[in-house]
């Protein structure tokens, strides 16, 4: 099976009992579980947490909007499920409490390009757990999917830039951002004519350890 097919199948088969989990830590401390995207298998708790955390960290992302369960469900069922270059994992403790999520996006199956996507800690966790969860995901993407050119794009006004440095990403370039405000959202886009003090989009490349 090709790697892109594997990703689609993983999303489709993910449900109450996922087909695959990535164990984190030795001894195992948490599990990375693919978030279900099939309309019949959607996990309502995942949806509620995704919406709640998206609202809590609204300014961390390029598109700012108010999230709610219905919107999150359609995004999972339509956008994430159908996108061959995207998958998200919940990070669950061994007693089943979800503490955050990590994802892969913008995959180019020809070149091996991948981006760390939707990295959020929503509950208290041991310091370093999010770093290790993302490193595990990137190792899996490299070893199992052949995605060895990993990047992240992050707003310069998000202190997560320093988190990504600790994970092993190194800044390559910055592009200024401008924002477009519509009825219910604010979208940041790359704009070389942006205002002088505007935030930028920081491109960081992962240096595999």
The footprint of ligand COA (CB under 6 A) covers 57, 60, 119-121, 125, 127-131, 154, 158-160, 162-163, 166
How many of the other CB atoms lie within 10 Å of CB of 40? 7
Structure tokens at 149: 């050119």
Please state, in angstroms and rounded to a whole number, the distance separating the CA atoms of residues 207 and 168. 6
Nearer to ligand COA, 14 or 99 (CB): 99
- Taking the least distance from each CB to ligand COA, the nearer of 28 and 39 is 28
Name the residue nearer to ligand COA (CB basis): 12 or 153: 153
Of 6 and 58, nearer to ligand COA (C-beta) is 58
Whole-number minimum distance, CB 46 to ligand COA, in Å? 16
Q: In the numeric block, which tokens belong to residue 74? A: 């359609």
Task: State in angstroms the smallest separation of the CB of 31 from ligand COA.
Answer: 17
**Minimal distance, residue 38 CB to ligand COA, in Å:** 26
Give Cα separations from 131 to 3, 80, 194 (angstroms): 25, 23, 32
- Decide if 83 contacts 116 (C-beta within 8 A): no
Nearer to ligand COA, 57 or 113 (CB): 57
Which residue from 152, 110, 135, 131 is spatially nearest to 208, judged by alpha carbons?
135
**Rounded least distance, CB 130 to ligand COA, Å:** 4
CB closer to ligand COA out of 12 and 205: 205
Shortest spacing between CB 149 and ligand COA, in angstroms: 18
Find out whether 116 and 104 touch, Cβ atoms under 8 Å: yes
- Distance in Å, CB of 41 to ligand COA, minimum: 26
Please state the three-class secondary structure of 141-162 as a single string.
Answer: HHHHHCCCEEEEEEECCCCHHH
User: What SS3 state is found at 87?
Assistant: strand
């Amino acid at each position: 099976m090709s790697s892109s097919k594997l990703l689609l199948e993983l999303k489709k088969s993910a449900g109450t009992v996922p087909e695959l989990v990535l164990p984190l830590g030795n001894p195992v401390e948490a599990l990375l579980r693919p978030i279900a995207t099939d309309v019949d298998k959607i996990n309502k708790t995942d949806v509620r947490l995704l919406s709640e955390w998206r609202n809590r960290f609204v300014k961390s992302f390029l598109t700012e909007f108010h999230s709610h369960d219905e919107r999150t469900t359609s995004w999972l069922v339509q956008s994430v499920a159908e996108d061959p270059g995207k998958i998200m994992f919940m990070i669950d403790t061994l007693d089943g409490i979800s503490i955050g999520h990590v994802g892969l996006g913008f995959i180019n199956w020809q070149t091996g390009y991948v981006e760390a996507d939707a990295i959020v800690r929503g509950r208290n966790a041991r310091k370093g757990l999010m770093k290790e969860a993302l490193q595990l995901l990137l190792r899996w993407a490299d070893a199992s999917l052949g995605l060895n050119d990993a990047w992240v794009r992050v707003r310069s006004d998000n202190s997560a830039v320093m988190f990504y440095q600790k994970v092993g990403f190194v800044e390559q370039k910055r592009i200024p951002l401008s924002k477009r405000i519509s009825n219910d959202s604010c979208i940041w886009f790359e704009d070389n004519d942006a205002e002088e003090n505007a935030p930028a989009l920081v491109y960081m490349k992962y240096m595999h350890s």
